[in-house]
Amino acid sequence: MGDILGLGVTHSPLLVGTDQRMAGIFERVLGSPSLPPAARDQANWPPPMRREWAEHQAGRAAAAHRHRALEGFRAVRAALDAFDPDFILIWGDDQYENFREDGVAQFCVFALDAVDSHPFKRIGAANAWGEPADTVIRSAGHRAGGRYLATSLVEQGFDVSYAYAMRHEAGLPHAFINAMLLLDYDRSGLPWPVVPFHVNCYGSSTISKRGAFAHIDGTGSDELDPPGPSPARCFALGASTAKALLGSPWRVALIASSSWSHSFLTAKNHYLYPDLPSDRARFEEMRDGQLDRWQALTTAQLEDAGQQELLNWVCLAGAMTELRRRPMWTDLAETYIYAAPKAFAVFEAA
């Protein structure tokens, strides 16, 4: 009989980088010639956004935001250490990394033996730890666990893909490796094997927007790709994952890896800042044990709010609802200028 722990974290690249780069996405959009003058005018910004930008320019906001997020990671890591799983399963998305024009899976379970990742391939030595740009992190996989889960999900009616190797030249896509790096922020080691579980969160923007930034740089296409899985389907998949793993011989930590509303996905805010009211609504539902409401969300709602990556958490919500587990601890580190608020959660263990 297996045992399960539910956890939620962000995989924000901004936290993997340095404080000096924390507002990089915001500055990128702010400097875009496609940004309307009215959106550029600070008089039209929400007052808390103006204050946060002033604090950033004074050199204080980035460090404060990092500190708040690290408190979340350390709380989740403490729960992970106490549970000590046989492996961790991470629901994460892919932004034109492993899945490109030659094939996009809605869901894919990676049953790996091991994988070498190059987490600083893009940002170089300007990372939070000052580690060399060519750092390689070798992560153990759990081939048996991944294969067992893929088999069980197919038997339960989910036509999930599976893979025994990564195609991404940098190893694990950033939704997985960043979460692992940040859970090991204090560099004590992350000893557990990992089963990456891909969710096609970006759906209609997966190829056309090259993982969501091409529309800002003007290098993408206006032709939409087929949609990703619906929130209801992700919720059901999470529930079936919990059923499968309860019947396994393993202790497993299920981790949702993502921030929620992203500034660069929120068209109604001219891609400048995220939809905080929507994030607060989802956070209150999670905090109050009302995760069953998430299965009624629609793809259109998530896209309007820039919450495409919430689908990773919807999978976790389905699992926790199936197990009747409520959150023991939650936090939401809000921000207007650092791309996305960062949510964290630790759920009850059996």
Q: From first to last of the 350 residues of the chain, give the pLDDT tens digit.
A: 679 999 999 999 999 999 999 999 999 999 999 899 999 999 999 999 999 999 999 999 999 999 999 999 999 999 999 999 999 999 999 999 999 999 999 999 999 999 999 999 989 999 999 999 999 999 999 999 999 999 999 999 999 999 999 999 999 999 999 999 999 999 999 999 999 999 999 999 888 887 666 767 666 677 889 999 999 999 999 999 999 999 999 999 999 999 999 999 999 999 999 999 999 999 999 999 999 999 999 999 999 999 999 999 999 999 999 999 999 999 999 999 999 999 999 999 97
Write down how long the chain is: 350
Model pLDDT, residue 1:
61
Question: What is the structure's pLDDT at 213?
Answer: 65
- With CA atoms as reference, report the closest residue to 274 among 227, 345, 343, 327: 343
Q: What is the pLDDT of residue 293?
A: 98
Question: Residue 77: what pLDDT?
Answer: 98
Residue 161 Cα distances to 98, 154, 193, angstroms: 13, 9, 20
- CA distance linking residue 8 with residue 89, whole number of Å: 11
Range 202-236 burial, b when 16+ CB lie within 10 A, else e: bbbbbbbbbbbbbbbeeebeeeebebbbbbbbbbb
Residue with tokens 């990992």: 194
Rounded CA separation 100/208 (Å):
10
Nearest-angstrom CA–CA distance, 160 and 110: 11
Q: Tell me the sheet residues that pair with 331.
A: 344
Contact 262, 311 (CB under 8 A): no
What integer pLDDT is reported at residue 211 of this predicted model?
Answer: 65
Residue 210's pLDDT is: 75
- What pLDDT is attached to residue 196? 98
C-alpha span between 64 and 296 (Å, rounded): 35
